[in-house]
Amino acid sequence: MSNIEKYAFNNIKTSSTVERIVDNLLALIKERSLKVGDKLPPERQLCEIIGVSRPILREALKALQVMSIIDIRQGSGAYIKSLEPEDMVEHLDIVFHLDSSLYADLYDARRILESAIARMAVKNISDEQLAAIEENIRQAEAAIDDEQLFFRKDLELHEMIMKAAGNRIIPVFMQSVNKLALMIRKKSNAMPNIRKNTIQDHEIILKALKTRDAEAAAAAMADHISNVEKAFLGMGGYEE
């Protein structure tokens, strides 16, 4: 029996929907039963294994193709495509569905990098930059019910602190991290309780920057990212 047959497909009932077929194909990839470059079995075989009609299977395969999970080659078959996160930014929902540990990895990356950035900013930040950050927080507070505007202000604040750090190489690293984290940040920003507490966290970060306390600034930034992570993942972070 093949890996396909050994996996969860044999538990799917004949009434399976396209969504369930997609979910189980994704589960196969996640468990590495199917790897990048592997060819899916022929449609007829998949239909027999899953117990669905060919039209339903084709809808599922089309969905996977749109999500860049598979590559359907005319006359050859369907093949697993690259699932590297940096190659699939426009389909990050699928990437994170495949490997939920990426959430923790991204928050860890932000915590490490942005804490260091905040520590560096303490040494270089100007009074004008501090004033701009304070004004940003006031604008975000006024826009707390405007999800899109608040999101822009949140990104802007972190960009300001990064600029104040004065390091020309760090933005290169942060560009990749921020690109990958954009989908998660949009989702977390949609939660009103996170927006409310983000303002409080930003105030604490600003206070540390004003007092030129590098360790406090780094700790405040780390706490802020941890708070958002806990709230987003439902692990007892911010309360409503």
Chain mean pLDDT for the chain: 81
Q: Quick: pLDDT tens for 212-229.
A: 999 999 999 999 999 999
Q: What are the residue ranges of helices labelled H in the chain?
A: 3-6, 18-30, 43-50, 54-66, 92-98, 101-124, 127-142, 147-165, 170-189, 192-210, 214-232
Is residue 60 a contact partner of residue 34, using CB atoms and an 8 Å limit?
no
Given this model, what pLDDT does residue 10 score?
A: 44
Please provide residue 150's backbone torsions phi and psi, each rounded to the nearest 5 degrees: -60, -40
Enumerate the CATH 1.10.10.10 domain ranges in the chain, comma separated: 3-83
Given this model, what pLDDT does residue 55 score?
A: 87
CA distance 192 to 2: 48
156 vs 14 pLDDT, higher one: 156
For the 100-232 domain, the top CATH level (class) is mainly alpha
**Domain 3-83 coded CATH 3.80.10.10:** no
**Which of 90-104, 133-147, 152-166, 205-219 shows the lowest per-residue confidence on average (mean pLDDT)?**
90-104
Is residue 218 a contact partner of residue 226, using CB atoms and an 8 Å limit?
no
Enumerate the CATH 1.20.120.530 domain ranges in the chain, comma separated: 100-232
212 vs 89 pLDDT, higher one: 212
**Which of 57-66, 79-88, 141-150 shows the lowest per-residue confidence on average (mean pLDDT)?**
79-88
Given this model, what pLDDT does residue 84 score?
A: 59
